[in-house]
Each structure stands twice: as structure tokens, then as C-alpha cells.
Structure 1
Amino acid sequence: MARPTLFYNAKIILKDTLTDGGVLVENGKIKAIIPTNQLSYLNKYEGYTLIDVNQQYLSPGFIDIHIHGGGGYDFMDGTEEAFIQIAKTHARFGTTSLVPTTLTTTTERLEETLRSYESAKQSFNDGANLLGIHLEGPYFAMSQRGAQDPRYIRNPDPDEYKALIANYKSIVRWSAAPELEGALAFGEYLVANDIIAAIAHTDAIYEDVEKAYQAGYKLMTHFYSAMSGVTRRHAFRYAGVVEAGYLIDDFDVELIADGVHLPNPLLKLIYKIKGPEKMVLITDAMRAAGTNDTKSILGSYDDGIEVLVEDGVAKLKDRTAFAGSVATADRLVRTMLALGDIPLVEIIRMITLNPARVMKVEQEKGSIDIGKDADIVVFDDNINIQCTMVKGKVVYERQIE
């Protein structure tokens, strides 16, 4: 059994405030939050692993609920190694939990990826924790496909999705376009099976989204990206999915806060309307994240799409659409801080407690609280990651300066 660990001399980021002190970790859990004035005599912690945070930040670990790859791997590679290497890569940048995400593909390829997930989940404990699989597609609007492969886009198929859900309990969320034939029944079936229903790659109008909300859709996948805004049909204007996301308070919205997918004015607008409680920062990272590659593949090597990496983002070769981000979680926090008027505590909530709540793991993860998993990240003023701990085990560490 690992020795207990004491982080001390830290600026601890709690749910609503900052406090100075230390955090005691034992048996993979947070055992105590200790004020600075009770840490005067470190010799009483003989036998503990002591980590001097040197007045840097100690935060809950980052939780990325929408991620495709990194470190040269994609979950669609369909191998256990891909899951392991992606989890290790993103742990270096502060991610302690993630939700592997698929792309639009064949049923057979989805099953291959799901089997690989279950194999990796059983054998791996040396990087970010895996919270279950997110199926992004294949039930999308062709007009809003973005970088999703048009060969595989289709309407919800009850025989297909019921069999997948019955056979793979690792499916925890599924993104779809709610205006498609059968999409409302699909959403109801997801909710009945305790799977999160999310709206994505859609040309719906507000009225469609209202119906989807009643059917159980409560999350908007990469808000603004591949979704409709105000449109005109036969001279009449209709509010789109973006407007519905603002008007229906209960919707959580994912944000690819890499500074490219959403420019600063839109990030400020979302914060002004939705507030910090309903914003969830995601990377939507593809395989080039955490590398210096300028060319890459979105999806599997044998059936994916060639993309370019430039301007800090992945693009289709013809540059008509983005093809996922190359961001890591630390970059999301830096981007939000650069806006200048959002407190760090609120930003950290967007990448810790909010995603934990959305994924229904907030009793175990998402904040520095006694009894929760010891998923901890230490970073400096520039959000350079110094140490990442997952369930009490240090999985990444560099010299704290």
C-alpha cells in the first residue's frame, strides 16, 4: 500500500474560494484539508511522502468529458495501447479523468473500440482515469457534419443502438442531432438506460430542441461548433440550437476553450448568459494533441481523415472546417484566464466540478473535499503542470520550482 502523502505550502482551490494550507492523502482518498497554522511541525508527519507545493496552486484534477486522442493515438485505433497512451499523455497536462470519445463510423468499428476500452479499463492504472465511453454520432445532420465522415452518417436505428447499449455497459453518453427521425425516442431510451443524451452536429430549430429537452437531452456538445443559430425558412426567422442553449436554463454547454474554436467575445457572451455553473470546458482533442505534428489523422489510421495542424488547431486538408482541437486541459484554463474577468476558482469549477456533475461522479470527484478521490493537480501561475495525482498515485511529476 502506498505511503500517505501530504501536500503542504499550497494555495488550495476549493469549490468557491482559495485557502492556504495542505492536503493529506491516504488510501487513495483526501483525508484532511489542513490550515497553514497547523502545519508548523512537519516532523509529526514522519513516514509520509511530503510534497512542498511552494505556494503554487493545488486544484482538483481536470476532468475532460469529450476527447478523441493525443500523444499520436486516437481511441478509434481500437487498441488497448491507444487508450493507455492517451490517458498517460493527458495526465501530463493535468487531466485526471476523461471520457474517451468515438467518431461517426460503422457498428463494427464502434464495437471494436468499445471492446478495447473495456480491456484497457481493467488493466490500466497509470494515467488519467477512464469514466466510460462517449459515442459521438453516427446520428447526425449531414449539413452539420463538420469533420465527421459522411459515409457513415445515418438516422437513429433502434436495432443498432439497443444492441450496443445492451452489450456494452461502458457507454455513458451519446451525442446526436435531435431533429432526425427517431431521435426523440432515441433520447428517451438513453435516459431510461442512465446514459447522458447530448445534442450535436445539428440543424435543429428552437422548437426541435424544446422537444428534445422534454425527451431528456440536457447537454450541448461543443457549443456553437456544428450547430445552428438563427436561420430563415421561407422568409421567416427561427431561433436555432445556440439560442435554445441560452434560453433553456437547464442545458449544460461544452466549450472547446482552445482560443480558436470560440473567439474571446463568444466565450465572454457564454459566461455572461450561462454563468460558471453551466459551462463545461473540453479539449475535443485529436491524436496530435501533446505532439509537434503538423499533419495527422482524425480517426483510425486505416479509415481516418488526413488533417493539417496549424494555427493551434486541426483542420480538414481543404481548410473548410476544423477537425478537432490539439489542446490539452491546461491550455483551456489559460485561455479562460486570458479573458481577464473570470476568477480562477470559477474557471477551475468549469473543468472539475461541473463535468463531474454532468457525468454523475460528483460524489467521488471534482473538488477538494474530505472523502473524495485524491485526484489532484499542482500548477503554477501560468498553469504549467507540476504534479498530477490520480486516486492517490502520482502519475506525473516534474521539479516544482
Structure 2
Amino acid sequence: MSGTLKIYNGTLICPHRCIKEGTLIIKDGKIVELGSKNVEVEADALQIDAQGNFIAPGFIDIHVHGGGGCDFMDGEIDDFLTIAETHARYGTTAMTPTTLTSEKEGLVKVLSNYEKASVKNLKGARFLGMHLEGPYFSLNQRGAQDPKFIRNPDPKEYKEIIERFGKSIARWSAAPELPGALAFGRYLRDHGILAAFAHTDADYDAIVAAFENGYTLATHFYSAMSGVFRKNAYRYAGVIESTYLIDEIDVEVIADGRHLPAALLKLVYKIKGPDRIALITDAMRGAATTASETILGDKKNGITVIIEDEVAQLPDRSAFAGSIATTNRLVKNMVHMAEIPLVEAVRMQTYTPARIMGWERLKGSLAVGKDADVVVFDNNVDVRYTIVEGKLVYQKV
């Protein structure tokens, strides 16, 4: 083979427009040409006829816990690989593996195997750094996070973790109102790690302070965070209103059709717009399975959850426990539920998450010189092909 891949006869989805009857040329893992004209390639090049379907940048998921029966908290290399390959079948070409609140030893185990798994990950979505979700959270907003592991930021703990694994950590989510959380945010910022606020009961003043100290992203916006509240007769802005008021704060949204109804998806889009919204699955191990009962977190210390109505829930149904969505479902829901243009829905699953995480130079859009991460899907956003860095990793048969 020449190392050349040609994808043709499809509609190219670029950041701000579509190119009908488009052609995409890939060489050695990079995009080298795209446009509406037909391009001749070497006789032994791999050619894919898109058959009139859409040719888009690969989907990027910056918050995902598992899928295919595995969870990153299981910590084993094979679990990492299964999750990556599972989500690649649905168009995900890059992801940020995400942990749950746990004891330090659990985090160390996951982080220790992350780099080993990255080297062996040849058939799935690429890993672009770990996301530590917790353990520094508000008990009142814990959701499905296990309360026995929740604690305040501990400088000795997080400095040790970052000293050992800082190159593997892309982001860390915490509640910014906790004692020591602002110093934690500054420490993350100083070490090139994205600080996000999550599972938080903060008010407006606390969110302003958090933003000033490095927190720039709202983790699973609306979920496990305060809205407007009252103290005595007075009302105060919670995390949700504060996030809307600060234009520069980005948000990630679980657009699985269960965590947020259509009205709230429309509201987030109306106020924040596609350039500030990243679509995330927040998927747990039940994604892409037929399980009706499973475990959230690692198999040893995780909690039993049920799956019904296409979402994971605590057994008493008091809270959701992660989604079972895949990225193509998120794009489809934003088009059909939020009634937004396909180009903008794709941008929220590609360029915007890439920009939030600092990956936009190489990923997130179809452009010459960028990594050849590509997904071909039909009008129902069902995936036909997934290409990761120029390599075909999934083809629908």
C-alpha cells in the first residue's frame, strides 16, 4: 500500500460550511488535500466511496468513563483498549479517559497503566490525557459519586500525583468552594492541567473566584451543581447562573436525551453557542452493551446501578449514574432535540472540545496538515467508517 487514503463522493463537514461531492486525501496519517474536485491517487491507494454520506472530523469525547462492559477505574490495560475500540465504532477518534472519586491507590493504578495502554492502543480512539473527576467534591452535590471517598483538596496528595503522573493528566475536576480549592486550581494551571468545576454547591462569588484562579470549564453542565437558591428571603445565583454570566467559561453537556431535556439543550445553545459547548457522553461501562444492571466505577469498589430508559441510574432511581450514550447519538440529539444545524452539532463534538483541551492545532477539523481523524456517517448519524490518524479502525458491514 502507498500510505494514501482517498475518501470521496460525500459531503465534507468543515467548521463553518459543507462541501458537497467532496474528496479528502490522506497521506501518512495527515490530511493533505480536500475540496470539491476529484483527485487522482496512486493505483494501490485505499479508496472509500462515501456514497453521498457525510465526511466529518472524528468525534472527540473529553469526558468518558467506560463502555463495552469496561470502566477505566478497573485500571487494566485491556480495559483501556476495549473502551477505546468500543467507542471508535460510534465515531469517537480521540478521548480523555475519566476516573471517578476513589482512594489515592485507585487513581495511582489507573494512571500507572495509562501510558502503557496508550502505546498498545492501535485499533481504537486515541487517548489524549486523563481526566480526574474528583475526589475533591461537595457531598451535597455528589450525585452517584461514592461519598466515602469524597474529601477536600489535599496538597500533599495532589502534588504527589502530579509530580508522578503530570504528563498523563489533561484535566482535573473539583468543587471550587472547598477549603484549599483555589490553591489547587492555581497549581493545576501552573502545571498545564485544565481545572474544571464539578459536583459543586458554589455561589456566584465562589465561581468568580474560581475563574480567577484557573477554573475555566463546567463539568457536565447542569448535572450535580447548584442553581439559584435562597437564604432566608434572599436569592443568590448558583453555579448554573454564574456560568452563564461569565462568557469565557466553557461548558460540557451530556446530550444523551436523558440528563437534559430539549428545552435546556436549547437554552445552553442559545446562551453559550457552539464555540463554548463540548458534547460529552459521560458514558459508563454499560455503553454499547445490553446490560440492565452493572457497576459504576471499578469492579471491586464500585456501586451497583441499573440501566433503564437508556440511562444509568442508582437502584433507588434518586439520581442518574452516568450515561450509556455514544458520541454519534449526542450529535443526532442536538440536531433533532435542540433543532440546531448539523454543522454546529458536529463542531460541538469536534473543534470545540479540541480547542478547550488545547488540541485544535492537530485535531477537531478537516484541514490540510491536521491529523486524519475522520468519521463517515449517514443522515441518521449512524457511523459507516471511522479513521484514526489515517488508519481505518472501523467499517460497518
- Report the Cα distance in structure 2 between the residues aligned to 1:276 and 1:145, rounded to whole angstroms: 28
Residue 33 (str. 1) matches residue 34 (str. 2): yes
Q: Does 1:72 align with 2:69?
A: yes
Measure, in 2, the Cα distance between the counterparts of 1:301 and 1:340.
Answer: 36
Residue in 1 aligned with 2:377? 379
For the Cα contact (< 8 Å) 1:142–1:153, is it kept in 2? Answer: yes
- The residue aligned with 1:281 is 279
Match 1:156 to one of 153, 172, 184: 153
SS of the residue 1:325 aligns to: coil
Deviation (angstroms), 1:233? 1.5
1:174 aligns with 2:172: yes
Q: Structure 1 170/340 Cα, relative in aligned 2: closer, same or farther at 3 Å?
A: closer
Alpha-carbon distance in 1 for matches of 2:88, 2:276: 24
CA distance in 2, matches of 1:196, 1:275: 21
Structure 1 distance, partners of 2:235, 2:42, is 67
- In structure 1, stretches of 5+ residues that fail to align are none
Q: Is the 8 A contact 2:2 2:42 kept in 1?
A: no
Of 106-115 and 333-342, deviating more is: 333-342
Equivalent residue for 2:229, pick from 212, 226, 231: 231
Within the candidate set 62, 79, 84, 2:81 is matched to 84
Deviations 1:376-396 (A, max 9, x none): 000000000000000000000
Give CA deviations for 1:24-69 in whole Å, capped at 9, x if unaligned: 0000000100323x34xx5x54221111001100000000000000
1:32-71 correspondence runs (5 A): 32-36=33-37, 38-39=38-39, 42=40, 45-71=42-68
- Contact kept, 8 Å, 1:187 with 1:197, in 2: the verdict is yes
Distance 2:18 2:330 in 1: 20
Partner of 1:370: 368
Q: Whole-Å Cα distance in 1 between the matches of residues 331 and 394 of structure 2?
A: 19
Q: Secondary structure at the match of 2:212?
A: helix
Q: What residue is the counterpart of 2:128 in the other structure?
A: 131
Q: Deviations over 1:239-265 (max 9, x none)?
A: 000001100000110000000000000
Aligned counterparts of 2:76 and 2:358: Cα–Cα separation in 1 = 27
**2: CA distance between counterparts of 1:2 and 1:268?**
46
Q: CA deviation at 1:165?
A: 0.3
Q: Distance in 2 between matches of 1:182 and 1:252?
A: 23
Aligned length: 395
Structure 2: distance between partners of 1:197 and 1:3: 39
Deviation at 1:398, TM superposition (A): 1.5
Residue 357 (1) aligns with residue 358 (2)? no
What SS does the aligned partner of 1:323 have? coil
For 2:322, what is the secondary structure of its paired residue? strand
Give the TM-score normalised by the residue count of structure 1: 0.97
Kept in 1, the 8 Å contact 2:90–2:328? The answer is: yes
What CA distance in whole angstroms lies between the structure 1 residues aligned with 2:233 and 2:113?
A: 50
Unaligned ranges ≥5, structure 2:
none
Deviation, structure 1 residue 78? 0.9
1:82-125 CA distance string (max 9 Å, x none):
10000000000000000000000000110001011121012221
Q: Which string of whole-angstrom CA distances, capped at 9 and with x for unpartnered residues, describes residues 151-175 of structure 1?
A: 0000000000000000002011000
Distance 1:240 1:340 in 2: 24
Matched to 1:179, the amino acid is E
8 Å CA contact retained: 2:4, 2:42: no
- The one-character-per-residue Cα deviations of 1:332-361 (angstroms, maximum 9, x if unpaired) are 011111136311100100000000011111
Residue correspondence of structure 1 range 147-296 to structure 2 within 5 A? 147-168=144-165, 169-296=167-294
Matched, 1:119 2:116: yes
Structure 1 Cα separation of the partners of residues 43 and 119 of structure 2: 34
Q: Distance in 1 between matches of 2:235 and 2:396?
A: 55
Distance 1:227 1:275 in 2: 20
Percent sequence identity over aligned pairs: 54
Partner amino acid, structure 1, of 2:15: K
* Equivalent residues in 2 for 1:277-316, closer than 5 Å: 277-316=275-314
Matches within 5 A, 1:305-344: 305-339=303-337, 341-344=339-342
Q: CA deviation at 1:272?
A: 0.7
**How far 1:286 sits from its partner (Å)?**
0.1
Match of 1:185, SS state, is helix
8 A contact 1:65–1:100 mirrored in 2: yes
Contact 1:24/1:34 (CA < 8 Å) preserved in 2? no
Q: Distance in 2 between matches of 1:340 and 1:365?
A: 25
Runs of 4 or more above 2 Å deviation:
none
Q: CA–CA distance in 2 between the matches of 1:340 and 1:107?
A: 40
Aligned AA (2:359): V
